[in-house]
Amino acid sequence: MSQKQIAGTTVDVNVEGYLTNHAQWNRDVAAALAKELGIELTEAHWKVLDFIDRDFKEKGVVPGMRRMNKVGGILTKDLYALFPDGPIKKAALIAGYPKPASCV
């Protein structure tokens, strides 16, 4: 495990860049992580990130695509538009949660 300076905060990350301590996450950290991925967060992004946060706290895992669609009401095409090339993986990273088990 290593540390990374982001948005003026030192955070613990794994080798893939995912936070290992969600308590170190905040909206500024999220915006900085998104920017590193070439994403400028909008209200639509925050809807996804907030859903991931609520669902993770309830279920203990990052929701998969099907759950995002069915429970979160977020369409697959919208997820790909907001988080291109691996929406669940990128959204989980920005939300400060672990890489989803379903993602390689």
The residues spanned by each domain of the chain are 2-95
Integer Cα distance of 44 and 51 in angstroms: 11
Integer Cα distance of 67 and 41 in angstroms: 22
Sequential DSSP letters for 18-79:
-BS-GGG--HHHHHHHHHHTT----HHHHHHHHHHHHHHHHHSS---HHHHHHTT---HHHH
Percent of the chain with pLDDT strictly greater than 90: 91
What residues are annotated to the active site?
Answer: 103
Residues 6+ apart with CB under 8 A from 5: none
pLDDT of residue 102: 66
Question: Does position 1 have pLDDT exceeding 80, yes or no?
Answer: no
Which pLDDT tens digit goes with each residue over 53-90?
A: 999 999 999 999 999 999 999 999 999 999 999 999 99
